[in-house]
Amino acid sequence: MALLRSTEVPLGLAPILLPGERLVTAVRAHWAKLVEPVATVLLALTAAVWVDSNVTTSTQAVGTVFWWLFLALLVRLLWCLLDWSHNWFVATDKRLLLRYGLISHKVAMMPLLKVTDMSYARSLPGQFLGYGKFVLESAGQDQALREVKWVPHPDQTYRDICAEIFHIVPPPGDEEFEELYGDLTGDTRQPGGPTPPMDPIAPGSDPAYPDVHRTRNPIQDRLDSYSRAVPIQRPAEGSETVYESDDRKQRRRGADTGPIWPPP
């Protein structure tokens, strides 16, 4: 199954995406998940046909039981197919989501900023068939999105998600990246094309460092507000602007706020 590009939103996923949220990848479970139900139905059909062809008058009820068993397994296979078609593992530029459930639709979500560890394992069959299991950790707590099994193209999916977490932009020579986002060094992007996943420090910054991002830290912002200097005007110095921090301003004002003696 090919990975979906960020411009392609599968049917049924649009309601769970936020406005302006960019899709990184969206995959269904690997087809190997359906191997066991399909194989079980084929074995049940083979057994039912063999028993029915060798049934006698006294063992006719046994053949009927085998056919009913085959029908039950066939219904189970149809249920598995429908459930497989409704399950999606989605990664955006802000969240990881797991959409599942056939009758009751459920969505498990984990913000990218909360992902503290992400790994995946590939068993021997998974290495041959091309699937793996993702294990996500968030601050050491158990999450609904902790394990995602039967992920197709695990290597590519892992790289895409890690690149989004660490804000890594492929170099301009990457043909697949240029096909999706255009040439970032020139004005060659197609009109209306998707915006590349970059967060420059300031408008007009050097695109040679696209992986440097502005960090928004509320604690640091508050500390900066305490140490931010404010401009004051000193009459003795005319119109010259002098910058003085809040603590120095308080000490300067504290010296001339005492009682004046003798009174005028």
- Predicted confidence pLDDT, tens digits, the chain (264 residues): 445 544 567 777 888 899 889 999 999 999 999 999 999 999 999 999 999 888 777 778 888 899 999 999 999 999 999 999 989 999 999 999 999 888 888 898 888 888 888 888 999 999 999 999 999 888 755 566 888 999 999 999 999 998 898 888 765 555 655 555 454 444 444 444 555 544 444 444 444 444 444 555 555 555 555 544 444 445 555 555 555 556 666 655 554 555 555 555
Encode pLDDT of 193-235 as tens digits: 555 544 444 444 444 444 444 555 555 555 555 544 444 445 5
**Is the separation of the CB atoms in 121 and 135 below 8 Å?**
yes
Q: Which residue shows structure tokens 């240029």?
A: 178
Locus of tokens 């990218």: 112
d(CA 186, CA 61): 77
Measured over the CA atoms of residue 224, residue 225, residue 227 and residue 231, the dihedral's sign is: positive
Residue 89: beta bridge partners? 27, 98
Model pTM above 0.85: no
Nearest-Å Rg of the Cα atoms of the chain is 32
Token code pair at residue 86? 């409704």
The four Cα atoms 12, 13, 17, 20 give a dihedral, to 10 degrees, of -100
Q: Taking the C-alpha atoms of 173, 175, 178 and 179 in order, what is their torsion angle to the nearest 10 degrees?
A: 170
